[in-house]
Amino acid sequence: MALLAHILVAFVALEHVAFLFLEMFLWNRPLGLRVFGQTQAQADASAKLAANQGLYNGFLAAGLVLSLVAAEPVGHALALFSLSCVIAAGVFGGYTVKKSILVVQALPAAIALALLTL
């Protein structure tokens, strides 16, 4: 069970590295426009905000990666905290932006958190 939990933590971290890259570097490029369903004008107008959001996703990824390499009990506590932050961000994003964020971001983190607490 612990191995599966760590695999899911790594997956959530990888997702957030991808979010960082999309939001910081590809926001107003063709892939970013497609992924986020925006026009070029919308993306250009919000690029600085997206870059900031991408940076925060990088912090979430960093916390998750550190939780995988830190000695116990610090690693476990950091995983619980970081996954809780991801879930909170995913629920807020699902409520305020797009419901699919609940599935893409919050659900994998919630499953990982559940497995870590078993």
pLDDT reading at 109 higher than 90: yes
C-alpha distances in Å from residue 4, one per residue of 107, 108, 115: 15, 12, 8
pLDDT (0 to 100) of residue 90: 96
pLDDT reading at 30 higher than 90: yes
**Element counts in the chain: helices (H) and strands (E):** 6, 0
For 52-80, what is each residue's pLDDT tens digit? 999 999 999 999 999 999 999 999 999 99
pTM metric for this prediction: 0.92
Residue pair 9/110 in contact (Cβ under 8 Å)? The answer is no
Domain span holding position 16? 2-117
Q: How many domains does the chain have?
A: 1
